[in-house]
Amino acid sequence: MARIQITGGVPLNGTVEISGAKNAVLPILMASLLTDQPCQLHGVPHLKDVTTSIELLGRMGVLVSVGDRCAVGLDASGLHTQVAPYDLVKTMRASILVLGPLLARSGEAQVSLPGGCAIGARPVDLHLAGLSAMGADITVEGGYIKARAKRLKGARVVLDTVTVTGTENILMAATLAEGTTVIENAAQEPEVVDLAECLISMGARIRGHGSNTIVVEGRERLDGFDYTVIPDRIEAGTFLVAAAMTGGRVRTDNVRPDTLDAVLGKLRDAGAVITTGEDWIELDMQGRRPRAVDITTAPYPGFPTDMQAQFTALNAIADGTGVVRENVFENRFMHVLELQRLGANLLIEGNTVIIRGVERLTGAPLMATDLRASAGLVLAGLVAEGDTIVDRVYHIDRGYENIEEKLRQLGARVRRLAA
Ligand code: UD1
């Protein structure tokens, strides 16, 4: 299994280009199922989850062509199977995003239940409840969700918990339903907004996206799209934290600063000097050690759970004590025990980690456990003395495009070790 070796101690310096947002690309790729017209998506990052999505769509009969400059063409006119099989769903929970579009366009869908996940139970009950409210007949048999509906009907769907992919599934289904759907307590994440904008470009009638109430008037059919995805705010945030931890100065290009307010606020609290332009952010730590910061994760516009592990790593070497509260997912502290192996001082109490910053960490072999936890470990490796080797980097490859190459551009001593 491939590993990444990091020799710590270099302040990062330079400019890095941020890729398209994984969490916007995945639902938009699945939105191609809503139409028999050709679609083009630009700014698609080269990631394992993107490859998995393309494979999933291909198995259903979608023609996929990968072009130059991160463009992907999709043509679902020959859709012949409405099944998302276990072997793919188990490697990527976001496969559940085919459920709404398939059901809305074909009247049926069979999607393997994703099952447990390294970061907590992560059920899909709210996706199913929403589609049931729209008239779908849903059963679970042999590990598969089997859904049928002649034509979905608009409904009022109140989500008990804010769910990102749940909102996206119901939103996509509603675009082809008969009548008006109102999604209440909807997720407000920029990636949900991006999906809605893409759907609007296909002719969907949607308003309220970006607020907690989304209203969709269903249409008989949708056109194709030619759309460019938003930049990845989590990738950008990760590089900025890396700069802050190493006392460096880094500019991220191709970013949307307005989607990073909560993260930039915490980086400023940590002592970083931050300047922003329309599509760039520069962080200058001026060689200082970061101050500890308290974090509480929450749905957007709150502090993103996908940045929690990176800030836990920052607190590990910060001046003072930081308290990190994880409110979105249970069991998302897999990185904590690994950070202790580098000499970090952390204590888990329920959904909270108390981190007493230490002056130095020392390199050690580590095991990546999930996507964002792995990013936290790589960041810690950048400041640890000596060599840190992060094993199971396939987790990182699910969500970060060329992470070691981008870090190297900024001066980090990072290399991938072959399996
Ligand atoms: C998405 C993101 C992931 C991010 C997460 C939270 C994608 C592909 N992934 O994941 O990177 O960490 O949002 O910002 O966009 N829940 C239920 N029932 C459901 C659905 C969710 O109880 O039917 C709960 C979950 O267990 C969790 C919370 O709702 O506690 C939020 O999860 P959700 O927003 O659904 O996460 P994902 O959409 O899977």
d(Cα 324, Cα 343) in Å, to the nearest integer?
Answer: 18
Site to probe by mutation for ligand 1, drawn from 113, 131, 165 as the one with most ligand atoms within 8 Å of Cβ, is 165
At 116, is the secondary structure helix, strand, or coil?
coil
Encode pLDDT of 312-344 as tens digits. 999 999 999 999 999 999 878 889 999 999 999
119 pLDDT more than 90? no
Site to probe by mutation for ligand 1, drawn from 48, 145, 162, 163 as the one with most ligand atoms within 8 Å of Cβ, is 163
Using CA positions, which residue lies closest to atom 35 of ligand 1? 163
113 pocket-lining for ligand 1 (C-beta < 6 Å): no
125 pocket-lining for ligand 1 (C-beta < 6 Å): yes
Average pLDDT over residues 291-300: 98
Encode pLDDT of 399-415 as tens digits. 999 999 999 999 999 99
Residue 156, amino acid? R
Classify residue 5 by its DSSP letter: E
| DSSP secondary structure of 267-301 | HHHTT-EEEE-SSEEEEE-TTPPPBP--EEB-STT
Atom of ligand 1 nearest to the CA of 306: 12
Give the model's confidence band at 2: pLDDT under 50 very low, under 70 low, under 90 confident, else very high: confident
Q: How many angstroms does the Cα of residue 418 sit away from the middle of ligand 1?
A: 33
Q: Return the active site residues.
A: 117
Give the model's confidence band at 121: pLDDT under 50 very low, under 70 low, under 90 confident, else very high: low
d(Cα 335, Cα 269) in Å, to the nearest integer?
Answer: 23
Q: How many angstroms does the Cα of residue 299 sit away from the middle of ligand 1?
A: 9
**Sign of the torsion angle spanned by Cα atoms 188, 193, 195, 201:** positive
329 pocket-lining for ligand 1 (C-beta < 6 Å): yes
pLDDT (0 to 100) of residue 394: 86
Q: If you average pLDDT over every residue of the chain, what do you get? A: 95
Give the model's confidence band at 67: pLDDT under 50 very low, under 70 low, under 90 confident, else very high: confident
Q: How many angstroms does the Cα of residue 168 sit away from the middle of ligand 1?
A: 11
Give the model's confidence band at 120: pLDDT under 50 very low, under 70 low, under 90 confident, else very high: low
Q: How many angstroms does the Cα of residue 188 sit away from the middle of ligand 1?
A: 12
CB burial readout 263-287, b (16+ within 10 A) else e:
bbebbeebbbebebeeebbbbbbee
95 pocket-lining for ligand 1 (C-beta < 6 Å): no
d(Cα 41, Cα 130) in Å, to the nearest integer?
Answer: 27
pTM higher than 0.95, yes or no?
yes
Q: How many angstroms does the Cα of residue 175 sit away from the middle of ligand 1?
A: 21
Average pLDDT over residues 7-28: 97
Site to probe by mutation for ligand 1, drawn from 122, 158, 171, 233 as the one with most ligand atoms within 8 Å of Cβ, is 122
Average pLDDT over residues 240-246: 98
pLDDT (0 to 100) of residue 345: 97
241 pLDDT more than 60? yes
- % of the chain surpassing 70 pLDDT: 98
pLDDT (0 to 100) of residue 1: 76
Structure tokens at 145: 């969700």
Encode pLDDT of 205-219 as tens digits. 999 999 999 999 999
Using CA positions, which residue lies closest to atom 32 of ligand 1? 163
Q: How many angstroms does the Cα of residue 271 sit away from the middle of ligand 1?
A: 31
- % of the chain surpassing 90 pLDDT: 89
pLDDT (0 to 100) of residue 118: 55
pLDDT (0 to 100) of residue 259: 98
Using CA positions, which residue lies closest to atom 31 of ligand 1? 163
Other Cβ atoms less than 10 A from the Cβ of 291: the count is 16
163 pocket-lining for ligand 1 (C-beta < 6 Å): yes
pLDDT (0 to 100) of residue 70: 84
Encode pLDDT of 35-51 as tens digits. 999 999 999 999 999 99
300 pocket-lining for ligand 1 (C-beta < 6 Å): no
Beta-bridge partners for 182: 156, 215
